[in-house]
Amino acid sequence: MLIKDISKYAGQEFEVKGWLYNKRSSGSIAFLELRDGSGFVQAVVVKAGVGEETWANAEKLTQESSLIVKGKVSKHPKQEGVFELQVSDIQVAQIAEEYPITKKEHGPDFLLDNRHLWLRSKKQWAIQRVRDIVISAIYDYFHEKSFIKIDTPIITPNACEGATTLFGIQYFDEGEVFLSQSGQLYLEAAVMSVGRGFDFGPTFRAEKSKTKRHLTEFWMMDAEAAFVEHNENMDIQEGMIKFIIKRCLEKCQEELTILERNQEPLKKLLNLPFVRLTYSEAMEKLHSLGSDIKFGEDLGNDDEGLLTQNSDVPVFIHKWPKSIKPFYMKRDSANPDLVLNDDLIGIEGAGEIIGGSQREDDYEVLKAEIEKEGLKGPEYQWYLDLRKYGSVPHSGFGLGLERTVGWMCGAQHIRETIPFPRLINRVRP
Ligand code: ATP
Ligand code: MG
């Protein structure tokens, strides 16, 4: 029996195996808020209606004590659709010591030091459940679109996103190798076998910046598809974001309510096309809004905010200058100074959620780009091989799971969206 199913037991006996989340007692009646992992329920203990031992147990329960409670399910006297438990018996599994996390406000460092306990708080519980729904939505979207799951390696000898954020590890006689910054290059190889694929795994970047949107270990979903070009690549991304949002609205009503998430902006964007601005158009818009960004610079946090501040929908910024983008991105045939890439900026301050591009598929061009970046060696030969044996136009993108979950939940900092965050100054617990 799980609390999430309690409505099916109206009028019947029910058993909760879980923890005490909260308690109020007047001396003759006690209200216990119980949680079992699947949900929360109020249990009512009437002193005159239960045995002495059960009342004594109710009295001594402390926050987070573990217990088994039996009783009859009844309708809440005031709240429609809410059920509670009229308690007949309480068995204590363990009386918890004084719990460090109470109802009072705690600072972020204290909460992060106690992350192993903080995870039990209602909002944190809700965020992890939204995360689970986002993950399953991604799998379902891609399977519907005939992409299959491909597991790319985490230990790799090559850099995909720039050498400055690599975590090195000593690998036997090989010397230094790295933790993956993205599975993309391997996924490109795999889709030349399976046509359309996605990976989903931990990703590591030694980010020196302390922002609300950077972790050093985060989960990324990379997708890649053969014969998909730039515009279709953006269509797939837009479809995925709408699919995720729709799923969250369907499945996470309780969680979003706990998180006090205003759902209107999410509902609204489902029926609207996302905005697509070229990098040049974005520059013009930024200048008209007073930004002093220069052509050829990356967008900062503030720029992303300006570009989306009055938008009901996420904004694609596409066709960036080649000079600031990685070697594998394909040049725009209409203007070879630009590449066929896109960043998707979420609304409500979510920031960049996705980075994607069409990949260079010409052997000689790609070889020259790799050499220009000083990336030589056998690590890149296999990648070049893909352009020798049946090369095809292909595109893909990477979605940051924590940024997506943070946006869905309205979280201020993405560190709350992963169970045990790793940041530049935090590896514990
Ligand atoms: P940013 O400019 O914000 O650092 P990026 O351009 O380095 O992002 P990509 O390399 O395109 O990001 O990675 C794809 C996606 O992975 C990003 O759009 C973002 O959602 C997510 N991501 C990238 N770096 C991090 C990080 N350090 N922590 C959490 N998510 C990240
Ligand atoms: Mg980055």
329 and 224 within one domain = yes
Contact 179, 153 (CB under 8 A): no
Protein residues whose CB sits closer than 6 Å to any atom of ligand 1: 161, 205, 207, 213-215, 218, 220, 352-355, 398, 400, 402-403
Chain segment 87-99, per-residue pLDDT in tens = 999 999 999 999 9
Chain segment 200-256, per-residue pLDDT in tens = 999 999 988 889 999 999 999 999 999 999 999 999 999 999 999 999 999 999 999
Q: Ligand 1 atom 1: the closest Cα is on which residue?
A: 352
Q: What is the pLDDT of residue 163?
A: 77
SS3 240: helix
Of residues 114, 93, 112, 127, the one with CA closest to residue 20: 93
Q: Ligand 1 atom 29: the closest Cα is on which residue?
A: 214
Domain count, the chain: 2
Ligand 2 centroid vs 181 CA: distance in angstroms? 10
Q: What is the pLDDT of residue 210?
A: 84
Backbone angles phi, psi at 285, to 5 degrees: -65, -40
Determine the Cα–Cα distance for residues 70 and 51; give it in Å rounded to an integer. Answer: 13
Q: Ligand 1 atom 23: the closest Cα is on which residue?
A: 400
Atom of ligand 1 nearest to the CA of 344: 18
Residue 68 domain boundaries = 3-94
Q: What is the pLDDT of residue 429?
A: 97
Q: At what angle do helices 301-308 and 279-288 cross, to 10 degrees?
A: 90
339 and 245 within one domain = yes
The answer to whether residue 425 is domain-embedded is no
Q: What is the pLDDT of residue 164?
A: 84
154 and 246 within one domain = yes
128 and 78 within one domain = no
The answer to whether residue 100 is domain-embedded is no
Query: Which residues have C-beta within 8 Å of that of residue 79, sequence separation ≥ 6?
Result: none
The answer to whether residue 304 is domain-embedded is yes
Ligand 1 centroid vs 156 CA: distance in angstroms? 19
Distances 208 to 157, 180, 216, 424 between C-alpha atoms, Å: 22, 17, 9, 7
Say which residue, 374 or 24, is predicted with more confidence.
Answer: 24
Confidence check: pLDDT of 375 > 70 = yes
Confidence check: pLDDT of 357 > 90 = yes
Confidence check: pLDDT of 145 > 80 = yes
**Which CATH number characterizes residue 274's domain?**
3.30.930.10
Determine the Cα–Cα distance for residues 45 and 30; give it in Å rounded to an integer. Answer: 5
Chain segment 15-45, per-residue pLDDT in tens = 999 999 999 999 999 999 999 999 999 999 9
Ligand 1 centroid vs 74 CA: distance in angstroms? 48
Of residues 58, 42, 61, the one with CA closest to residue 50: 58
Q: Ligand 1 atom 2: the closest Cα is on which residue?
A: 352
Q: Ligand 1 atom 9: the closest Cα is on which residue?
A: 355
The predicted model gives 69-82 an average pLDDT of 95
134 and 71 within one domain = no
Ligand nearest to the CA of 204: 1
Give strand ranges (E) for 311-384: 315-318, 331-332, 335-339, 341-346, 351-358
371 and 243 within one domain = yes
**Whole-structure pTM over 0.95, yes or no?**
yes
SS (H, E, C) 386-413: CCCCCCCCEEEEEEEHHHHHHHHHCCCC
Tell me the pLDDT band of 392, cut-offs 50, 70 and 90: very high
Chain segment 155-191, per-residue pLDDT in tens = 998 766 677 889 999 999 999 999 999 999 999 999 9
Q: What is the pLDDT of residue 158?
A: 78
Q: Ligand 1 atom 8: the closest Cα is on which residue?
A: 352
What number of other Cβ atoms are within 10 A of residue 391's Cβ? 18
51 and 21 within one domain = yes
161 and 46 within one domain = no
Ligand 2 centroid vs 377 CA: distance in angstroms? 25
